[in-house]
Amino acid sequence: MTKIVTLGEIMLRLSPSGTYRFLQAESFDAVYGGGEANVAVSLANYGDDAYYVTKLPAHEMGQAAVNALRKYGVHTDYIVRGGKRIGIYYCETGACMRPGKVIYDRAGSAIAEAEPDEFDWDAIFDGADWFHWSGITPAISEKGAALTLAACKAAKAHGVKVSCDLNYRKKLWTEAEAQKVMTQLMPYVDVCIGNEEDAAKCLGFVPEGNVAEGKTDAEGYYGIFRQMKEKFGFEMVASTLRESRSASDNGWKALLYDGKNFYQSKHYEIMPIVDRVGGGDSFSGGLIHGLLKWHDPQKALEFATAASALKHTVHGDFNCVSEEEVLNLMNGNGNGRVQR
């Protein structure tokens, strides 16, 4: 089995039921999630050895987060215990023309205050095949950025392939702050993943097309993919393309460039959307799994796109689907008939 390591912050997610607004809520549904944790769960569901690295408090809320990962088969051996709190985020689901909304309560979380020397990097990356991180982790604090850099250096020292989902979050840092930090981390990255906003805000590359109005031109990405590869030496660059007609109705496809060829996935119509949070993470998990298993860029891209399309039908951050279910959709079985 392949050993895949992800590093980041797992948080407690509190959401009003259904499409209720925060101001209407009298109770909240509680689940756990977070960019790299979501990737680890996807990979574990596909049968990979997924290891999640973070720091969590030693109290019951920290343990509940650990248990949420273990439930899906994610290895938690390298999670450091300590600190005062687990990060929280509040998530309001959008509907029709009303967008979803996220409010963070994560300042001073255990992982945001963690030091690189608290982690045994040699043990973490011993025998590892892949390391994945996202731009959220260096955005949460200066210590988060230092921790990400230390992890990238350790991964490279052990000959591990590194992927990054750029994942720009404007509520965590500015474009200038993001570009200053992320451009210093990019030389350690082999596979760069991100949508049009991520590429623009984190690295300064802007594709053609009015993405704010849900209009994307796949060919508009070709130039920036070449520029990104030339500037940072990536082996591959991948991006999801979301056609956002409303919060409930999206088109979905993806692109990948390996330095020689551009690959484009099937297009999916997703309507109505159940929960779009974690859609990008499920794409990352699917792409990593596909590249490691089949070594075929087109097949890996199709698997990742189908997996992320399915995520839009699943409540919560985690993509609770199997490899078989993804392959069924990827191979054209998307009619939703009851399986008996």
Q: What is the pLDDT of residues 164-174, one digit of tens each?
A: 999 999 999 99
Q: Inform me whether the pLDDT recorded for 211 exceeds 70.
A: no
The stretch 142-156 carries a mean pLDDT of 98
Can you tell me the distance from the alpha carbon of 280 to that of 43, in angstroms, rounded to the nearest whole number? 14
The stretch 277-284 carries a mean pLDDT of 96
- What crossing angle do the helices spanning 279-294 and 297-311 adopt, rounded to 10°? 150
CB 196 within 8 A of CB 185: no
| Backbone CA torsion sign across 296, 299, 300, 301 | positive
The CATH code for residues 3-330 is 3.40.1190.20
- The residues annotated with a catalytic role in the active site are 281
Give the DSSP letter string of 247-296. TTEEEEEEEEE-SS-EEE---EEE-S-S--TTHHHHHHHHHHHHHHHH--
Give the DSSP letter string of 15-32. E-STT--GGG-SS-EEEE
Can you tell me the distance from the alpha carbon of 30 to that of 11, in angstroms, rounded to the nearest whole number? 10
Can you tell me the distance from the alpha carbon of 316 to that of 326, in angstroms, rounded to the nearest whole number? 18
DSSP 119: S
- Percentage of the chain modeled with pLDDT above 90: 90
- Percentage of the chain modeled with pLDDT above 70: 95
Q: Inform me whether the pLDDT recorded for 335 exceeds 80.
A: no
Which helix (H) or strand (E) covers residue 219, if one does?
Answer: helix 219-232
